[in-house]
Amino acid sequence: MEKKKIAILGSTGSIGTQALEVIEEHSDKFELTVLTANTNAELLIEQALKFKPNTVVIVDETQFDKVSETLWEHDIKTFAGADALAQVVESNEVDVVLTALVGYAGLLPTIKAIEAKKTIALANKETLVVAGELITKLATKNGVHIYPVDSEHSAIFQCLVGEFQNKIEKIYLTASGGPFRGKKTEDLQNISKEQALKHPNWEMGAKITIDSATLMNKGLEVIEAKWLFNLKPDQIDVIVHPQSIVHSLVQFEDGSMKAQMGLPDMKHPIQYALSFPYRYTSKSPRFNFMDYPQLTFEKPDTDTFVNLKLAYEALNKGGNLACILNAANEVAVDAFLNDKIKFLEIAAINQKCMENVTFIKAPTYEDYVATDSETRTFANSLI
């Protein structure tokens, strides 16, 4: 079996670095051909020298000289800029594109990869949140498979293998509850950045960790699940599961349920997305039932964690509302991480943007671009 040629968009982030560990462990199955990074030139260079890809892209054009001068003697092609990021996925040297970019930046490269008929391993949930209808139609038109990398959506996908002829009654996306599970609004008035970045179960990047603390991450996953699995909003439930052992569940029409379980480890869903339909060996620690004598479940508190409620509102109304929510949240989270707003203001900004930015019922790609820009301008005016 020929090696799969892998492009990692966002190789210096949490998902990207773990994907490299998977590829290194299975170097007989995978060949790394493209690496990209936004601004972390030093780590990108280190990764390129170790894995010897055909091509690297540094989005920050001011760092092009630093990267290219180091890598040219190793016969590694170097490009810079957002346009290069969108173009590199079209290369004949790529079979699978792992989109591990953070936020809206993943949309255009994913579109270009689908148009080039590349298999997509999707870790950038915002792509489906912003433009789910456009992306799924484009994937169908081009005969492209989208394999989810988020642990929850990977769990649903794994539960559905061998069940594609059977209708889904409901899915349950599990949530850890984040670091503030059980807290009320009054408890969250003066939450610090450091407190919000302490996730109890998962090691993730700063943006997704804050999203987990506000439950926005779960809200985005609800929207993503609708497009990945062709579901209606009332078929998607969220349940808080503090131990993060049951990664998600599927309930079928006969009432039976399937769950995918395991220790919290992002390398598992990354590897499954890259290797599907095969399961390769893994050195990851194994789950022991005796270490978890009780698995508990509870209802999410959407009165305190308003972002999850906003996500369902965006899902039910459709159009460009999820695009508005995503753009507002990216601005608000960045502001919180830079000590410009308080924790509870994240959801407040998101809600105001949803109420005030122009709503478009049937948006085109150009409408999504315009909506993203308008929302960011408005959100920044609120900070």
| Mean pLDDT confidence for 54-74 | 94
Work out the end-to-end distance of the chain between its first and last CA atoms, rounded to an integer number of angstroms.
Answer: 54
Domains of the chain, residue spans: 4-148, 153-265+293-302, 318-383
Kindly give the pairing relationship between strand 119-122 and strand 77-80: unpaired
Contact 246, 240 (CB under 8 A): no
Model confidence at 208, pLDDT cuts 50, 70, 90, reads: confident
The two structure tokens encoding residue 11? 């190789």
Long-range (24+ apart) CB contacts under 8 A made by 333-336 are 333/207, 333/210, 333/211, 333/216, 334/207, 335/383, 336/193, 336/196, 336/210
- Supply the DSSP string of 204-227, one letter for each residue: --HHHHHHHHHTHHHHHHHHHHHH
Average pLDDT, the chain: 94
| Mean pLDDT confidence for 120-140 | 93
**What's the confidence (pLDDT) of residue 323?**
95
Kindly give the pairing relationship between strand 246-252 and strand 168-175: antiparallel
Model confidence at 198, pLDDT cuts 50, 70, 90, reads: confident
Strands (E), the chain: 4-9, 30-37, 55-58, 77-80, 96-99, 119-122, 146-148, 168-175, 236-240, 246-252, 257-261
255-271 residue pLDDT tens: 999 999 999 999 999 99
The two structure tokens encoding residue 43? 């780590």
| Mean pLDDT confidence for 198-209 | 77
Q: CA neighbours within 13 Å on the CB side: how many for 170?
A: 13
**What's the confidence (pLDDT) of residue 324?**
97
**What's the confidence (pLDDT) of residue 362?**
94
The CATH fold assigned to 4-148 is: Rossmann fold (3.40.50)
Q: In this structure, what are the phi and psi dihedrals at residue 10, rounded to the nearest 5 degrees?
A: 95, 50
d(CA 143, CA 300) in angstroms, rounded, equals 37
Query: In the predicted model, is pLDDT for residue 84 greater than 80?
Result: yes
pTM of the model: 0.92
Query: In the predicted model, is pLDDT for residue 201 greater than 80?
Result: no
* CATH ID of 318-383, from 2.40.50.100, 3.50.50.60, 3.30.70.380, 1.10.1740.10: 1.10.1740.10
d(CA 297, CA 249) in angstroms, rounded, equals 12
Model confidence at 137, pLDDT cuts 50, 70, 90, reads: very high
152-162 residue pLDDT tens: 999 999 999 99
**What's the confidence (pLDDT) of residue 202?**
65
263-292 residue pLDDT tens: 999 999 999 999 999 999 998 999 999 999
Classified as helix, coil or strand, 3 is coil
Query: In the predicted model, is pLDDT for residue 39 greater than 70?
Result: yes
Cβ neighbors of 342 (< 8 A, separation 6 or more) are 189, 190, 191, 336
Percentage helix, strand, coil, to 5, in the chain? Answer: 50, 15, 35
Contact 170, 248 (CB under 8 A): no
Classified as helix, coil or strand, 73 is helix
Phi-psi region of 162 (alpha: psi -120 to 50; beta: other; left: phi over 0): left
Model confidence at 333, pLDDT cuts 50, 70, 90, reads: very high
Residue of 18, 75, 80, 26 whose CA lies nearest to 48: 75
Q: What percent of the chain has pLDDT over 70?
A: 99
State the residue for tokens 């984040």.
Answer: 178
162-173 residue pLDDT tens: 998 999 999 999
| Mean pLDDT confidence for 321-332 | 96
State the residue for tokens 């972390």.
Answer: 40
Model confidence at 307, pLDDT cuts 50, 70, 90, reads: very high
Q: In this structure, what are the phi and psi dihedrals at residue 91, rounded to the nearest 5 degrees?
A: -60, 145
Residue of 106, 139, 142 whose CA lies nearest to 125: 106
Q: Which residues make beta-bridge pairs with 257? A: 251
